Structure 1
């Protein structure tokens, strides 16, 4: 199931109002589950053109296609950078976990004691 952010919801609602289609046919034509689109309509109270324009101002949506594309490109780059840093953190954490596990294995072998909890412990 797709999760739509605030910008996507407002843009979809604007396109719906401008299309003049029923909400079911609009949802199907945009490959959105009808129940999800119905929930969006309930969330925004079946908006009209003026309320959509107010929402666009509130969400600070660009008014031109070029500025919208630039904003989406910027957001995509930010998400890619965040993803890259999260992957790097994950790799560091995996390495740290491996080092800890190796340290425990060596300590158990060297001192001949059991450090890890046994699975059948009561």
Structure 2
């Protein structure tokens, strides 16, 4: 029988933030937070930054929002909380993409970001 350990979302979010803010990989981050598998870290990063597991690098399509009754204070408070969480997830996703580009530019020595300045005709 397999024992399944559940981790609180606060720990997962802390782990994802550490992964995004540091140059450590999945394995090193898993070791730092005493998580048995690097794949768990990868899954949590994808969960919090919204990457699709079927198409790496592509974000999930936004869910259609249900119309809400603006008069209900409890509904509005819940909606605000959902939007704040979505904003935090998007911020983490953006930071992950930026980190990925930085690592690619540094390690692979390829230019990815658009450079500012005048355009040149390439003949």
TM-score (norm 1): 0.39
Larger radius of gyration: 1
Structure (1/2) with the larger helix percentage: 1
